[in-house]
Chain A
Amino acid sequence: EAGVTQFPSHSVIEKGQTVTLRCDPISGHDNLYWYRRVMGKEIKFLLHFVKESKQDESGMPNNRFLAERTGGTYSTLKVQPAELEDSGVYFCASSLIMDTEAFFGQGTRLTVV
């Protein structure tokens, strides 16, 4: 069974550009989470989907970040326009139901220059 997969693994973009990250959860997992780790900080929660609905987006830093999960399968996280402080590693995780073990993807390393 495939694990959580994220694309791309690395992305380098210029300040002001747009970047879209993708996450494919484990098949059948209704819960999908985005986390990120910026330089020198802890891994922080961004948001949580249950199927296609946003359950909790309290961790989204500002309105330059937009997450979607159309059809309740894969999810995208778009940053527009990107700023230097957005650089970091973006992780996606999925779980079968709430309050159960979450499995993480390999992360997308985003560098904004």
Chain B
Amino acid sequence: GIQVEQSPPDLILQEGANSTLRCNFSDSVNNLQWFHQNPWGQLINLFYIPSGTKQNGRLSATTVATERYSLLYISSSQTTDSGVYFCAPDTGANSKLTFGKGITLSVRP
């Protein structure tokens, strides 16, 4: 099956800093989602981005499907951005998502 690698595994930022989270995947994908798992464990949808670039406030994401990677940009980070960020591509085989191990982000005030 598809392999998903996220980097870096852990990230510590000072409030206000910018960051880039990376997701590499080993196979062609039909779609890709980014999630933020908040401290209560809930998976919050950030982006549904099989290709191209999308922006939502301080967050933006880019997927380059031909090169098999996706990037999540966080600008002017806030303490509420802390948590675990997952990317999850879907190869189109039965629409199931394959999750990476996640990136643990800590934003310090």
Chain B residues near A56 (CB-CB < 8 A): 94, 96
B residues contacting A by CB (< 8 A) are 30-31, 33, 35, 40-43, 45, 48, 86, 88, 90, 92, 94-102
Q: Of A61-69, A77-85, A93-101, which binds chain B?
A: A93-101
Q: Which 4 A-B pairs have the closest CB atoms?
A: A101-B48, A56-B94, A43-B99, A104-B43
Chain A residues near B97 (CB-CB < 8 A): 33, 35, 45, 93, 102
Interface size class of A (residues with CB under 8 A): 20 to 34
CB–CB B86/A43 < 8 A: yes
CB–CB A109/B41 < 8 A: yes
A107 to B44, CA, bound (A): 12
Instruction: Point out the residue from B31, B40, B41, B98 that lies within 8 Å of A99, measured CB to CB.
Output: B31
Chain A residues near B43 (CB-CB < 8 A): 91, 104, 107
A-B contact pairs, 12 of them (CB 8 A): A42-B101, A42-B102, A43-B88, A43-B99, A45-B96, A48-B96, A56-B96, A58-B94, A102-B33, A103-B45, A104-B43, A104-B45
Instruction: Point out the residue from A58, A95, A99, A107 that lies within 8 Å of B42, measured CB to CB.
Output: A107
CB–CB B45/A99 < 8 A: no
A102 to B102, CA, bound (A): 18
